[in-house]
C-alpha cells in the first residue's frame, strides 16, 4: 500500500484529481486488507490461499492507475522515464512470492525437510525484499525524470491534453 504512494505522486504529478482519487482508492483497499489479515478468523490455515489472493488483488489494484499514467504520459515516456518496466518486474516478484507462499512450496514436496530453512514463508519474504529493491530503483528513475522535466511542462514533442493541467489552478492561491 505505502510503496505505491510515491509512484502515484510522481506519475500523476500534474493531474491532481487523479492523484487524490488513486491515493484514496489504494488507501481504502489497503485498510481493508489490513483489517481482514488481522482478523483471527482469517488467520486459520484454511484461509491461507484467500490471504494470498487478497494481497495479490491489492497489488493488482495498481494496474488501473498504471494504465491511466500510460494514457496521460504516453507509452515510451512511461516505460523509459516513468518506471513502468520496474513496476511490472516488482509485480512479478510480489506475485511469484505470494504464489509460492500459497502453494507451500517446497515444504509440500518434502514434509519435514524445510521446517527451519527455505520454508515458503521465508522464500516469500526474499521475493518481497527483491521487489522492494526493484521498486526503490524504479521510483528513483521516475523521481529523477520529474525533477529533470520540471513543473508540469509536457516533454518536447508529446501532446498533453490542456485539460490535464487545468487542475493546477486550484493550487495557485497556496503557491507563493
Per-residue confidence (pLDDT) for residue 61, from 0 to 100 = 82
Indicate the annotated binding residues. Answer: 121, 125
pLDDT in tens, 10-59: 999 888 899 999 999 888 888 878 887 888 888 888 887 877 777 777 87
Choose among 86, 84, 90: nearest CA to 130. Answer: 90
Is the model's pTM score more than 0.85?
no
Per-residue confidence (pLDDT) for residue 141, from 0 to 100 = 92
Indicate the annotated binding residues for Zn(2+). Answer: 121, 125
Per-residue confidence (pLDDT) for residue 119, from 0 to 100 = 92
Q: Are 63 and 95 in contact (CB under 8 A)?
A: no
pLDDT in tens, 64-117: 999 999 998 888 888 888 889 999 999 899 889 989 998 989 988 888 888 888
Q: What is the DSSP string of 68-95?
A: HHHHHH-HHHHHHTS-HHHHHHHHHHHH
Per-residue confidence (pLDDT) for residue 166, from 0 to 100 = 46
**Domain range summary for the chain, segments of one domain joined by +:** 4-167
Distance, CA of 73 to CA of 83 (rounded, Å): 12
Amino acid at each position: 500500500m505505502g510503496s505505491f504512494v510515491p509512484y502515484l505522486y510522481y506519475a500523476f504529478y500534474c493531474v491532481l484529481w487523479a492523484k487524490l482519487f488513486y491515493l484514496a482508492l489504494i488507501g481504502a483497499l489497503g485498510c481493508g486488507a489490513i483489517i481482514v489479515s488481522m482478523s483471527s478468523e482469517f488467520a486459520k490455515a484454511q484461509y491461507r490461499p484467500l490471504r494470498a489472493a487478497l494481497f495479490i488483488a491489492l497489488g493488482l489494484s495498481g494496474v488501473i492507475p498504471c494504465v491511466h499514467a500510460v494514457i496521460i504520459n504516453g507509452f515510451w515516456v512511461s516505460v523509459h522515464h516513468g518506471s513502468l518496466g520496474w513496476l511490472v518486474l516488482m509485480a512479478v516478484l510480489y506475485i511469484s512470492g505470494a504464489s509460492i507462499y500459497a502453494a507451500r512450496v517446497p515444504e509440500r514436496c518434502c514434509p519435514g525437510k524445510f521446517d527451519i530453512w527455505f520454508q515458503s514463508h521465508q522464500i516469500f519474504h526474499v521475493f518481497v525484499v527483491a521487489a522492494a529493491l526493484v521498486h526503490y530503483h524504479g521510483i528513483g528513475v521516475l523521481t529523477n525524470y520529474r525533477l529533470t522535466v520540471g513543473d508540469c511542462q509536457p516533454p518536447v514533442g508529446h501532446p498533453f491534453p490542456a485539460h490535464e493541467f487545468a487542475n493546477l489552478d486550484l493550487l495557485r492561491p497556496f503557491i507563493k
